[in-house]
Amino acid sequence: MLDDRMTLLNAKEAAHYLRVSLFTLSRIEREGGLVPFRTPGGHRRYSMRMLHDYLENSRNSWSHKINAAQRQQRVANPKDIERSQLKLAQA
């Protein structure tokens, strides 16, 4: 019995699984995020494991980017603080 993780999907099925368009799937490939298997006819095939791993890595990447953005927002700009104080004083 084949392991479900080794089930191969075509490009349309893979895009549906990732919830992206075919165009976005192609962009992910160009950027090196996914490297599909090729059939003798040149058609792309993606394993479920490959797609699952991509999703896990992209979640971790987004989490890291969001945390970095939140850290930057926590560092207050002195001019912003001054503006806020002026607005409070005027109110």
- From first to last of its 91 residues, the chain has per-residue pLDDT tens of 345 557 899 999 999 999 999 999 999 999 999 999 999 999 999 999 999 999 988 876 655 555 555 555 555 566 666 777 677 777 6
Among candidate residues 53, 60, 51, 58, the one with its CA nearest the CA of residue 15: 51
Q: Provide the pLDDT for residue 86.
A: 74
pTM recorded for the entire structure = 0.61
Residues 6+ apart with CB under 8 A from 32: none
Q: Map out the domains of the chain with their CATH numbers.
A: 4-90 (1.10.1660.10)
Q: Provide the pLDDT for residue 1.
A: 39
Among candidate residues 15, 17, 33, 35, the one with its CA nearest the CA of residue 25: 15
Q: Provide the pLDDT for residue 90.
A: 76
